[in-house]
């Protein structure tokens, strides 16, 4: 167990270091690079490239390089994105975003494969159930990994220090932002100096995150050499590209999958709004860019704690009650954000909105993944491929229009997608009850906890 535990910890802390950097940078993109929407455009490109890479790159790289070196190599793609931020322009940041997107799918697939194989190997030696050991490994991984949002945002806020905003700046904050003056507001009175930006990027890239993550994996992670690893990669290879592509879209013949598309896309829309619009038009505009990190810490902390909490109580409440809670929470936040005019004197309100958004997002992530696992138990690969596809498409669309629309318009779009998503989801639940009249819905809901113990990105 010691060797296996060591490898799980190496992967977990490697991802913690890597996403301390990436998570912090993602939260700051709309504020740091607001000129012509470069920051949010780069995020849109990342998710577009991620869609493409998930179709063919993971099985090829894992078969050729093995899980260890696929993880190490993919981490270098994230470092390239950090480097692209040093001299951010359309000619540097967009190519760096493509590189990161191409590396994202192999990174997560290799991690999933490694932990799954390691768990099964230990279970065979110890005479335990493989699923139980795998769940323990994923639980330990996420316990460590989820804190990356706290550390990355804390670093950015500490480095950027104190900035001030004027009453004139505050006139252009909130839902009815002044798009013509948005760049000036973000980069002038609220913006950090170039020296501070380079300091932050230097810390993210080498001193405490990116490079250290690669070195940690390269030096201390053991390569898995086992027949099961070969079988896993061969299985992935046979399912690669065209077979995965066709299976993904053939799965749309299932009307339940079609009905879940708005719910899945909403996950991308709501996360994109928080990262791209709330951080810029509310937090940075009213408080200054140094507060983005602190506010996002409240989101990360609430998200992590609520994921654990709702995971425990879902077997008692059922998924419908949790989805209703998330929808009501997000709808209330959207309406409040439309009416609220942010001001520095209302400091606590910025953190409350972020925490409530984290609470709702915890439900969307855990319960949507669990729902896919329950509904498409016999076709998990195609089901989760659709999940990745439609969620990523939601990110692409939301980040894509972010530069061209006022915040209040984007809030109405998010609200509309939410309403459609809940109506369609309700239809799915109705069909499930109708098709299985003798099976209480709650019995199916009891199985949801088995699915979000694992990695939603597998």
Structural tokens at position 284: 């940075």
Rg of the chain taking only CA atoms, in angstroms: 22
Distance, CA of 132 to CA of 43 (rounded, Å): 36
Q: Give the residue, 269 or 118, on which the prediction is more confident.
A: 269
Distance, CA of 63 to CA of 65 (rounded, Å): 6
Q: Residues with Cβ < 8 Å from 199, sequence gap 6 or more?
A: 159
From residue 384, how far is each of 42, 248, 358, 372, 452 by CA, in Å? 25, 9, 23, 7, 12
- Worst-scoring range by mean pLDDT, 165-169, 365-369, 371-375, 408-412? 165-169
The pLDDT value recorded for residue 210 is 77
Q: Give the residue, 231 or 408, on which the prediction is more confident.
A: 408
Q: Give the residue, 129 or 6, on which the prediction is more confident.
A: 6
How does pLDDT run across 29-61, given as a tens digit for each residue? Answer: 877 777 777 888 888 899 889 888 877 777 788
Q: Give the residue, 173 or 190, on which the prediction is more confident.
A: 173
Structural tokens at position 173: 């904050």
Angle at 356 between CA 350 and CA 361, to 5 degrees: 125
Please, are residues 181 and 168 in contact by the beta-carbon 8 Å criterion? no
Distance, CA of 303 to CA of 322 (rounded, Å): 14
End-to-end CA, the chain: 24
Helical axes 2-32 vs 210-220, angle rounded to 10°: 160
Please, are residues 185 and 169 in contact by the beta-carbon 8 Å criterion? yes
What mean pLDDT, rounded, does the chain reach? Answer: 80
Residue 456 has pLDDT above 60, yes or no: no
Structural tokens at position 362: 């915890």
The pLDDT value recorded for residue 245 is 63
Distance, CA of 353 to CA of 359 (rounded, Å): 10
Residue 420 has pLDDT above 90, yes or no: yes
The pLDDT value recorded for residue 169 is 64
Residue (of 267, 255, 259, 262) closest to 420 by Cα position = 262
Residue 450 has pLDDT above 50, yes or no: no
Residue 147 has pLDDT above 90, yes or no: no
The pLDDT value recorded for residue 14 is 92
How does pLDDT run across 181-206, given as a tens digit for each residue? Answer: 444 444 444 467 778 788 888 888 76
Distance, CA of 394 to CA of 383 (rounded, Å): 17
Structural tokens at position 232: 């896993």
Structural tokens at position 225: 């050499």
User: How many residues are given for the chain?
Assistant: 458
Residue 445 has pLDDT above 50, yes or no: no
How does pLDDT run across 148-160, given as a tens digit for each residue? Answer: 878 877 887 788 7
How does pLDDT run across 359-402, given as a tens digit for each residue? Answer: 999 889 878 877 877 787 676 666 777 787 888 889 889 988 88
Q: Provide the 3-class DSSP secondary structure of residue 221.
A: coil
Q: Give the residue, 269 or 368, on which the prediction is more confident.
A: 269
Q: What is the mean pLDDT of residues 342-355?
A: 92
Residue 335 has pLDDT above 80, yes or no: yes
Q: Give the residue, 434 or 167, on which the prediction is more confident.
A: 434
Residue (of 83, 1, 77, 94) closest to 39 by Cα position = 94
């Amino acid at each position: 167990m010691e060797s296996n535990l060591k490898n799980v910890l190496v992967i977990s802390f490697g991802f913690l270091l890597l996403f301390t950097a990436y998570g912090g940078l993602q939260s700051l993109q709309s504020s740091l690079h607001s000129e012509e929407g470069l920051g949010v455009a780069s995020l849109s490109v990342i998710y577009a490239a991620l869609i493409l890479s998930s179709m063919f790159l993971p099985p090829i790289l894992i078969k050729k390089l093995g899980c260890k070196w696929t993880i190490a190599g993919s981490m270098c793609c994230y470092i390239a994105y950090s480097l692209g931020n040093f001299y951010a322009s359309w000619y540097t940041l967009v190519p760096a975003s493509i590189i990161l997107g191409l590396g994202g799918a192999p990174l997560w697939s290799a991690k999933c494969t490694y932990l799954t194989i390691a768990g099964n190997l230990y279970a065979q030696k110890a005479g335990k159930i493989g699923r139980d050991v795998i769940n323990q490994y994923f639980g330990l991984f996420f316990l460590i990994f989820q804190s990356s949002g706290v550390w990355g945002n804390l670093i950015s806020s500490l480095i950027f220090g104190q900035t001030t905003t004027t009453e004139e700046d505050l006139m252009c904050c909130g839902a009815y932002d002044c798009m013509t003056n948005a760049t000036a507001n973000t980069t002038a009175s609220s913006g950090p100096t170039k020296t501070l930006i380079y300091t932050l990027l230097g810390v993210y890239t080498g001193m405490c995150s990116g490079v250290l993550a690669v070195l940690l994996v390269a030096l201390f992670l053991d390569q898995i050499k086992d027949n099961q690893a070969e079988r896993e990669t061969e299985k992935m290879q046979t399912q690669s590209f065209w077979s995965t592509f066709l299976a993904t879209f053939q799965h749309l013949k299932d009307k339940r999958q079609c009905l879940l598309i708005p719910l899945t896309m909403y996950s991308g829309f709501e996360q994109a709004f928080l990262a791209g619009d709330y951080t810029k038009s509310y937090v940075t505009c009213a408080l200054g860019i140094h507060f983005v990190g602190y506010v996002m810490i409240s989101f990360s902390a609430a998200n992590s704690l609520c994921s654990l909490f709702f995971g425990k109580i879902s077997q008692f409440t059922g998924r419908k009650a949790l989805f209703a809670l998330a929808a009501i929470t997000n709808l209330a936040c959207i309406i409040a954000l439309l009416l609220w005019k942010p001001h520095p004197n209302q400091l606590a309100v910025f953190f409350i909105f972020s925490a409530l958004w984290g609470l709702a997002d915890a439900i969307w992530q855990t319960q949507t993944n669990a729902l896919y696992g329950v509904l498409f138990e016999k076709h998990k690969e195609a089901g989760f491929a659709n999940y990745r596809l439609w969620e990523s498409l939601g990110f692409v669309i939301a980040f894509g229009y972010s530069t061209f629309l006022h915040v209040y318009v984007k809030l109405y779009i998010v609200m509309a997608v939410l309403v459609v998503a809940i109506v369609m989801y309700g239809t799915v639940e109705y069909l499930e009850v109708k098709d299985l009249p003798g099976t209480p819905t709650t019995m199916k809901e009891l199985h949801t906890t088995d699915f979000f113990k694992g990695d939603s990105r597998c």
